[in-house]
Amino acid sequence: MRKLFAPPELEISGIFARAFVDNLQSIETAPILEKHGFMTLESNEWYPTHKFMDAMNELAGDTNLSSNMIAIGMEIGARFPPPPGIENPTMADALRFWNDVYQGAHRGYNGSIGDITVEQVTPTHFRTLHDHLYPDDFVYGIAYTLARQYLQPGTSFTVYYDPDLPRRDEDGSDVTVIHITWEE
């Protein structure tokens, strides 16, 4: 995993920050977060993003790095609010709303924190491009959970990294591409 950074003034919403301790791998992730000064996290508060980056950088030395990052991302996906003004949102709606959620989960910094760009390849195939603050496996976990939440129950789906493009966490590329496909 690449070394993660965030501007010191950037804050993350407590709703999403809690995913660092409320996830399937919390037995491994919570103690590291506590070590970085987070004994309690409140959903309605804001926290320094750089401290979470420090904790994730420490997790990078763990043999379970991928599992831990995916677990945190899955919990973020579970906290994903539905797109506003849309009754019964589809997977396409959720994916198109992803960057808005990412941007809204942060405050306090006037510069760019990167983006999530979503491209529809076919009605059941979306390509997402990530050039933001977070590691690849973290966003893979979010994509997986969004598919589980927004596709009809029992729908077969696949989330995968683009096999023809290097990832940001592998070689420092500018963007990581994740595909989400499903069968109707």
Collapsed DSSP state (helix, strand, coil) of residue 48: strand
Q: Which of 48, 78, 108 is the last residue of a domain?
A: 78
User: Would you state the pLDDT for residue 44?
Assistant: 92
User: Would you state the pLDDT for residue 122?
Assistant: 97
pTM for the whole structure: 0.93
- 74/98 same-domain check: no
Q: Which of 29, 50, 78 is the last residue of a domain?
A: 78
- 118/47 same-domain check: no
- 63/130 same-domain check: no
User: Would you state the pLDDT for residue 121?
Assistant: 97
Q: Are 7 and 138 a contacting pair, CB within 8 Å?
A: no
- If one counts the domains in the chain, the total is 2
User: Would you state the pLDDT for residue 176?
Assistant: 96
Question: Does some domain include residue 2?
Answer: no
Q: What is the CATH number for 99?
A: 3.90.1520.10
Cα 83 from Cα 43, distance rounded (Å): 19
- 74/95 same-domain check: no
Structural domain containing residue 35: 11-78
- 17/67 same-domain check: yes
Residue 137 is encoded by which pair of tokens? 């496996």
Question: Does some domain include residue 36?
Answer: yes
Question: Does some domain include residue 5?
Answer: no
- 98/156 same-domain check: yes
**115 CB-near residues (< 8 Å, 6+ apart):** 99, 102, 103, 131, 132
Taking only the tens of pLDDT, the chain with its 184 residues reads 888 999 999 999 998 988 888 888 888 888 888 888 887 888 899 999 999 999 989 988 877 888 989 999 999 999 988 888 888 999 999 999 999 999 999 999 999 999 999 999 999 999 999 999 999 999 999 999 999 999 999 999 999 999 999 999 988 789 999 999 999 8
